[in-house]
Amino acid sequence: MILNSYRTMQRILSRRQEPLTPELVLELHRLVTQKALDDPLAAGCLRPPGVEVVVDDLYGTVFHVPPAAEELPQRMQAMCAFANGATPEEFVHPVLRAIALHFWLAYDHPFLDGNGRTARALFYWSMLHQNYWLFEFISISSIIKKARGKYELSFLHVETDDNDLTYFLLAQIKVIQQAITSLHGYLERKAEEISTLQRRLQGLEGLNHRQMALLRHALRHPGFRYSVSSHQASHGISNQTARTDLQKLAAQHLLLASRQGRREMFAVPADLAQRLPLL
């Protein structure tokens, strides 16, 4: 993934109510590695016995030797029990549980490739499973990508200090904080853009409330196509009034008129925002 593609996130959302099972973990791996593996047959498959991997750098320095392939089925069952809250008996904060799952899968490295993507997918699944709905809109992948060295160093610190997960927990909490800050910044920018566009809409003269409502919708849906009948039904007006509304917008180059057989169609231009009058 780049994990946060719309289609991928929607598929994770569709599975968020399910308990985690080894089969679901394999499905997540298959999902996030689609068309990304040298061997497509490896998607959704654990490392086979006798095929071991190591985590190293470009110079061959080994940082981590994952558990043997023979241990993976049992370890995955234990991971799923933890994900579903069956273990431990003590309370684990949902966010810490999700981060620990991220580390667990990355540590076990159960796949020949795509372990990092699957670990992040598992983090998202866990957060959404525990009703942290905001994470449908938050990207940790982009933050990790920008500071890959810090991400890898947190793994190394855990391994070199008797598997003390504190290093990774703290590092990932910072990633989450940065991702939330990034989302807030994005929302503020979009709110300002919308406010500016609303002011520019008010600068259009001679348009009625139906045309203004259509343009507000059009700004949020580039490429959308309106028909005379759809505009008529939306506002409860006559066919001729609907046609006049749309044709006037087309005459001002705010919609693109065309024909689909005998039907008149009016499409939203991709650069509609730029076609509005400047204030």
pLDDT tens, position by position, 177-206: 999 999 999 999 988 888 888 788 877 888
Q: Where are the domains of the chain?
A: 6-184, 220-275
How far is the C-alpha of 102 from the C-alpha of 100, rounded, in Å?
Answer: 5
Whole-angstrom CA distances from 12 to 46, 78, 153 are: 20, 21, 28
CA-nearest of 132, 107, 131 to 119 is: 107
What's the fold here for domain 220-275? Answer: Arc Repressor Mutant, subunit A (1.10.10)
Q: 8-12, 22-26, 137-141 — which is least confidently predicted?
A: 8-12
* Domain spanning 6-184: CATH superfamily: Fido-like domain (1.10.3290.10)
Is the confidence at residue 259, as pLDDT, over 80? yes
Most confident of 59-63, 191-195, 272-276: 272-276
pTM of the model: 0.75
pLDDT of residue 2: 40
pLDDT of residue 198: 79
**What's the full length of the chain, in residues?**
279
